[in-house]
Amino acid sequence: MASSSFQPLQGMSDIAPPDVYLWQMLEARAREVFARYRFEEVRTPILEKTALFTHSLGDTTDVVTKEMYCLEDRGGRKLSLRPEGTAGSVRYIASGAEQTANARMYYMGPMFRCERPQAGRKRQFHQIGLEAAGAPNPLADAEVIALQLNLLSAWGLEGAKIRLNTIGLPEERAAVLEGLRNAIRPRFSELPEDAQQRFETNVLRLLDSKDPAVQAVIADVPSVTELLSQESRDYLNTVVETLRSLEIDVEIDTSLVRGLDYYVHTVWEVVHGGLGAQNALSGGGRYQVQVGSRTIDGVGFAMGMERMIAALESTGITADQFAPEPAVFIVSLGEAALKENLLLMQMLRQRGIACEMELTNRKIKAQMKRADKLGARQVIIRGDTELENGTFVVKNMEEGTQQELELPELMNLLT
Ligand code: AMP
């Protein structure tokens, strides 16, 4: 079979050096920030029962109806690759000793959605996200949004904007949906066919449609906030005021509704101008998720790592900036030195010094060329003479100078 047949599937990629250095930076700094806010990591399985997602994400959402990778195992069980991280994290929160506490969990890893691949949309993509369990409290929402901004600045991203809205409480949802339908109904026939379907199944999604025909119809429709209770409007105001008191500016965007069914109260998105049409770096919100007989309240967000990287790159940040420091390179002249240098390399590594060497007995020129290519700043050269004298020739590649040292001096130089 031609090797091209073994390429990753469409919409999925290998992530390798140098790109992977940027990924590692994002992950490492995220862990630092999460630790400061006292969030702990949960690693949930990538493959789950399909019911976990249909149950918690709602079975009319696009993610569940159109985009999940579903399969049956040998026992005929219906399984799905996780399309997002909240369902699994919340299942964990509901199952453990944490269930009564205000669990604060974060996750990072691959998610799968069988969408049409395009710029900013992959079929395997990666998210870094978190969930803070606990009853609705505008201060908790504000804290999570503040954390997210802290994270963006730890990553060095400038120019991101937060768009915030409320979608109110579940008990108000019926009235809001009815209010929207009543306002849209006189112009129903102008809607395209799929939008007519959404009118019935998920009318909220018409509000953030990018289709001009839909936008024309909804232009005069009241905003969700206008259809909500005073209590819900107050909740949103407290979130905004709390953020302002933390010197965080957010933009209210009444067209923002978000795709999943489980949201209550606050929803938000982080967008960045450096991205194309798919400009959302992250989605977040407060939710109520049913897990078995339990209802878990929480607030959280998920950031798309691929888009985060694209946004960083649009501001001039490159993966090379996060490449590991070059290692010490060891050159061996002759069989005896080759063996002794294996021991030397072992000792250096045990002392925390990164080093590498040529493992075959090649000519010195070829070995030096490799050291140069790897960007080594120091090269240690040993042949029979040095072995006899118990010394090490060290070449400083930047300055082109060379000196002969004994072991203690060598260690001083390298550590
Ligand atoms: P969601 O779980 O749909 O709220 O998505 C949260 C974030 O994940 C989005 O804002 C994107 O940054 C990212 N994301 C979602 N779907 C994809 C995808 N198919 N490809 C790449 N990133 C995605």
Per-residue pLDDT tens for 152-196? 999 999 889 999 999 898 888 888 889 999 999 999 999 999 999
Cα–Cα distances in angstroms (integers) from residue 414 to residues 48, 334, 368, 393, in the given order: 49, 24, 19, 13
Same domain, 194 and 329: no
Same domain, 277 and 253: yes
**Binding-site annotation, residues for L-histidine:** 84-86, 113, 127, 131, 258, 262-263
**Percent of the chain topping pLDDT 70:** 97
Cα–Cα distances in angstroms (integers) from residue 18 to residues 21, 25, 319, 376, in the given order: 6, 12, 6, 17
| CATH code for the domain of 384 | 3.40.50.800
For the residues 131-160, what does the mean pLDDT come to? Answer: 96
Same domain, 33 and 138: yes
Q: What stretch of H or E contains 290?
A: strand 280-291
Cis peptide before 18, with omega less than 30 degrees from 0? yes
Which of residues 208, 224, 240 is at a domain's end? 224
Which of residues 299, 320, 341 is at a domain's end? 320
Does residue 97 carry a pLDDT above 80? no
Domain-located, residue 9 = no
Domain-located, residue 89 = yes
Is any ligand 1 atom within 6 A of the Cβ of residue 161?
A: no
pLDDT classification of 98: cutoffs 50, 70, 90:
low
Among protein residues, the one whose CA lies closest to atom 1 of ligand 1: 283
Is any ligand 1 atom within 6 A of the Cβ of residue 127?
A: yes
Alpha helices, DSSP H, located in 84-154: 86-95, 138-154
Extract the tokens encoding 276.
Answer: 């194309």
Domain-located, residue 386 = yes
Same domain, 24 and 161: yes
Give residue 279's pLDDT.
85
Same domain, 248 and 106: yes
Same domain, 199 and 239: no
Is any ligand 1 atom within 6 A of the Cβ of residue 84?
A: yes
Domain-located, residue 25 = yes
Closest atom of ligand 1 relative to the 83 alpha carbon: 2
Mutate to test the pocket of ligand 1, among 67, 89, 121, 157 (most ligand atoms within 8 A of CB): 121
Does residue 3 carry a pLDDT above 70? no
Same domain, 340 and 287: no
- Burial of 12-44, coded b for 16+ CB within 10 Å and e otherwise, reads eeeeeeebebbbbbbeeebeebbeebebeebeb
Same domain, 158 and 198: no
| CATH code for the domain of 133 | 3.30.930.10
CA nearest to 272, candidates 155, 414, 134, 407: 155
pLDDT classification of 257: cutoffs 50, 70, 90:
confident
Query: Distance from the CA of 303 to the center of ligand 1, in angstroms?
Result: 7
pLDDT classification of 224: cutoffs 50, 70, 90:
confident
For the residues 111-129, what does the mean pLDDT come to? Answer: 94
For the residues 60-83, what does the mean pLDDT come to? Answer: 90
Domain-located, residue 139 = yes
For the residues 32-60, what does the mean pLDDT come to? Answer: 92
Is any ligand 1 atom within 6 A of the Cβ of residue 53?
A: no
Total of domains in the chain: 3
Among protein residues, the one whose CA lies closest to atom 20 of ligand 1: 121
Q: How many residues does the chain have?
A: 415
Measured CA to CA, the distance from residue 100 to residue 102 in angstroms comes to 7
Domain-located, residue 260 = yes
**Using an 8 Å Cβ cutoff, are 345 and 355 in contact?**
yes
Give residue 384's pLDDT.
96
pLDDT classification of 292: cutoffs 50, 70, 90:
confident
For the residues 383-399, what does the mean pLDDT come to? Answer: 96
Domain-located, residue 7 = no
Is any ligand 1 atom within 6 A of the Cβ of residue 121?
A: yes
Among protein residues, the one whose CA lies closest to atom 16 of ligand 1: 121
Same domain, 142 and 67: yes
Is any ligand 1 atom within 6 A of the Cβ of residue 67?
A: no
Distance of CA 369 to the CA centre of its chain: 39
For the residues 354-362, what does the mean pLDDT come to? Answer: 95
State the helix-helix crossing angle for 305-314 and 19-36, rounded to 10 degrees: 110
pLDDT classification of 262: cutoffs 50, 70, 90:
confident
Closest atom of ligand 1 relative to the 258 alpha carbon: 4
Same domain, 283 and 341: no
pLDDT classification of 235: cutoffs 50, 70, 90:
very high
Does residue 1 carry a pLDDT above 60? no
pLDDT classification of 254: cutoffs 50, 70, 90:
confident
Give residue 66's pLDDT.
84
For 306-337, write each residue's pLDDT tens digit: 999 999 999 999 999 999 999 999 999 999 99
Which of residues 279, 305, 320 is at a domain's end? 320
Domain hosting residue 187, numbered range: 175-224
Domain-located, residue 121 = yes
Query: Distance from the CA of 341 to the center of ligand 1, in angstroms?
Result: 49
Q: Is 282 helix (H, G, I), strand (E, B) or coil?
A: strand
Is any ligand 1 atom within 6 A of the Cβ of residue 64?
A: no
Give residue 65's pLDDT.
77
Is any ligand 1 atom within 6 A of the Cβ of residue 280?
A: yes
Query: Distance from the CA of 83 to the center of ligand 1, in angstroms?
Result: 9
Extract the tokens encoding 134.
Answer: 């606990």
Antiparallel, parallel or unpaired: β 263-272 and 280-291: antiparallel
Query: Distance from the CA of 282 to the center of ligand 1, in angstroms?
Result: 7
Same domain, 73 and 215: no
3-state helix, strand, coil in the chain (%, to 5): 45, 25, 35
Is any ligand 1 atom within 6 A of the Cβ of residue 86?
A: no
Is any ligand 1 atom within 6 A of the Cβ of residue 122?
A: yes
Extract the tokens encoding 170.
Answer: 């579940």
Same domain, 165 and 287: yes
